Amino acid sequence: MASWFKAKHPRNILTGYHKPIGQLVVRWNFTELYLQSIIWHIWGIKDPKVARLLTWDLSAVSKVELFQHLVSRWIADPTDQAELKAIAKDAESLRVKRNRVAHGIWGYKPGERKKLRLFQIKRETRILPKAEVVSVADVKAWADEIDKLNVRLVKFHRKLGAPLP
């Protein structure tokens, strides 16, 4: 069990984290764009205003869930069903990692300033006392995983014949 400590929370984190965090956030936004575009295409929505209105203000959780629900009724091809399910599973896993970075609070134990820990926010209402060490390499790896997912999303998007979002 992790020991409790009084954390220090810097206003600025080490600069090595800046670029990977930016890549992770931007890449995730691209993920959401393509999830939405595939949903619009599968439902046959051609008017961009109607399409955007459908997914406007949906949380990332809701977008991934909506994407997952396409399989059961709107995707007939078994290969496409399998790929959609796999994409949805990976998107959910990466959404959790992205949220940890985007909504977490960075901190460190006194005397261990270079060993950053990420404190989790629970339902946007409170900071949990448990923290996990998250290195620059961790954030880079998560950003790379999102990028690989995006390559799959674009490929699937093209296979469906969906217009550019």
Question: For residue 72, what pLDDT is reported?
Answer: 78
Question: For residue 162, what pLDDT is reported?
Answer: 92
Question: 118: which DSSP letter?
Answer: E
23 neighbors 145 (Cβ within 8 angstroms): no
Measured CA angle at 139 (ends 90, 113), to 5 deg:
150
Distance CA 63, CA 140 (A): 24
Q: How confident is the model at residue 105 (pLDDT cuts 50, 70, 90)?
A: confident
Q: Which tokens sit at 165?
A: 């979002």
**Helix (H, G, I), strand (E, B), or coil: what is residue 134?**
coil
Q: Per-domain residue ranges for the chain?
A: 16-95+137-160
Average pLDDT taken over every residue of the chain: 89
Q: Which residues contact 127 (CB under 8 A, 6 or more apart)?
A: 105, 119, 120, 121
142 neighbors 69 (Cβ within 8 angstroms): no
Question: For residue 127, what pLDDT is reported?
Answer: 60
- Tens-place pLDDT, residues 57-86: 888 888 898 888 888 788 889 999 999 999
Amino acid at 69: H
Q: Is residue 93 classed exposed, middle or buried when 0-12, 13-18 and 19+ CB atoms within 10 A define those classes?
A: middle
Q: Which residues contact 145 (CB under 8 A, 6 or more apart)?
A: 90, 94, 97
Segment 24-47 mean pLDDT: 94
70 neighbors 84 (Cβ within 8 angstroms): yes
Distance CA 105, CA 118 (A): 6
- Tens-place pLDDT, residues 121-156: 766 555 666 788 999 999 999 999 999 999 999 999
